[in-house]
Amino acid sequence: MMNNAFALAGIVIKELYRRKDFYVLFILTALLTLLLGSINFFNEQNIARYVKEFCLLLIWIASLVIAVTTTARQIPAEREQRTIFPLLAKPVSRGDLIFGKFLGCWIASGIVLVVFYVFFAVITGAREHHIHVAAYFQAFWMHWMMLGVVVGMVLLGSIVFAAPSSNSTISFVVILGILLVGRHLNKVADSLAEPTSSILYTVYYVIPHLEFYDLRDLIVHNAGSAPWWAVGVATIYAMVYAALFQFVAWMTFRRKALN
């Protein structure tokens, strides 16, 4: 299981660094951040927070783009290019395939995040003359955990939906929806009439609350770090959801005919 999963993960990671997407997004992020950082506002030196916020926003967008598109194409590409046939003709189970793809996409996005966050730390260090190591590590870690849920979700989507582009689009809508209003769904539910209210409440409790993993405000406003126990609990919460999505993906894929 683990052997096969890591072998598959290696392929995913190789694919990521042999494609241009990541470099394009990183260079774009770096350029835009540096460009914005170079603007003079009222001859005031050391204005840092807007650059931090902008850079983090770009990192979030870029990481989601990479995680979602990379994950969404994995299994459809295996099927379209028929590489899945020689693969599954070997002692690789379909569960191995799903777990291996998950691991590959997740580790690949983790590597991408490391690059992005190192860049972020360098930029802010240069402006604030201080790097909040603990807070930055938490932000990276939580971001990565969130991408675990995202990768699991998209992997499931790639088995349910036929076309990778529709899967990406739907995944994006769901992810952005959760990030933007997930926290407030209960309040919205309170203001609605009964049947809808209960439905919305159910949605509120069922969705993975990706917004937990967004620590951007804390680091933009230098508001310290989150409690470590909470980071630990959130890590477990993310792993549970990632596992759940993989399990459902496996259930769906297990008996599916391939051709």
Partner 1 sequence: MAEVIKVEKLTVEFPAGGAGQQTKVAVKNLNLTVSSGEVFGFLGPNGAGKTTTMNVLLGFVNPTSGSASIFGVDVRQPIARQRIGYLPELTYYYKFLTAEELLRFYAKVFRIPKDQVESRIDEVLKLVELEHARKRLIKTYSKGMQQRAGLAQALINDPDLLILDEPTSGLDPIGRMKVREIIQRLKNEGKTVFFSSHELGEVETVCDRVAILNQGELKVTGRVDDLVRENQMNLEKIFLEMIGYKSPVTV
Partner 2 sequence: MDDVPTKSSELKMASPRLILLLLLASAFSLSTVLAQWHQNWAGNRSDNGSALAVVMGDSRRIFANHFFTKADVYFHSGYYPSIFDAPKQQERSHMEEDLTQTHDDEDEDDHHAHDESCDHGEEHGEAEFLDKPRNIIDAFGRNFYITSHSHLAEGEQREMLPWLKIAAELDPQKVQTYTVASYWLRSRLNKPKEAEQFLREGLRVNPDSYEILFELGRIQRENYTNPDNARNLWELALLKWRKQESAGLKPNEFNYQQIIGFLGALEEQQGNVVKAIEYFEALKEVSPAKADIELRIEKLKVASEPQ
Q: Binding partner 1 by CB under 8 A: which of 38, 43, 46, 81? A: 81
Applying the rule CB under 8 A, the residues between 81 and 100 that interact with partner 2 are 81
CA distance 97 to 118: 31
Which of 25/249 has CB closer to partner 2? 25
Instruction: Report DSSP letters for 84-126, one per residue.
Output: HHHHHTSS--HHHHHHHHHHHHHHHHHHHHHHHHHHHHHHHHH
User: Hey, is 149 helix, strand or coil?
Assistant: helix
If one asks whether residue 17 binds partner 2 (CB under 8 A), the answer comes out as: no
Minimum CB separation from partner 1 for residue 94, in Å?
Answer: 8
Which of 109/168 has CB closer to partner 2? 168
CA distance 46 to 201: 44
Q: Binding partner 2 by CB under 8 A: which of 77, 121, 179, 239? A: 77
Residue 126 binds: one of partner 1, partner 2, none (C-beta under 5 to 8 A by kind)? none
Which of 140/250 has CB closer to partner 1? 250
What distances in angstroms separate CA 29 from CA 57, 80, 220, one per listed residue? 9, 32, 17
Applying the rule CB under 8 A, the residues between 165 and 184 that interact with partner 2 are 165, 168-169, 172, 181, 183-184
If one asks whether residue 62 binds partner 2 (CB under 8 A), the answer comes out as: yes
Q: Which residues contact 34 (CB under 8 A, 6 or more apart)?
A: 123
If one asks whether residue 19 binds partner 1 (CB under 8 A), the answer comes out as: yes
Minimum CB separation from partner 1 for residue 169, in Å?
Answer: 25
**Contacts made by residues 216-219, CB under 8 angstroms, sequence distance 24+:** 216/53, 216/56, 216/57, 216/60, 216/139, 218/135, 218/138, 218/139, 219/52, 219/56, 219/132, 219/135, 219/136, 219/139
Residues near partner 2, by CB under 8 A = 21, 24-25, 28, 32, 35-36, 39, 41-44, 46-50, 54, 57-58, 61-62, 65, 68-69, 72-73, 76-77, 80-81, 142, 163-165, 168-169, 172, 181, 183-184, 186-188, 204-205, 209, 211-215, 217-218, 220-221, 223, 226-227, 230, 233-234
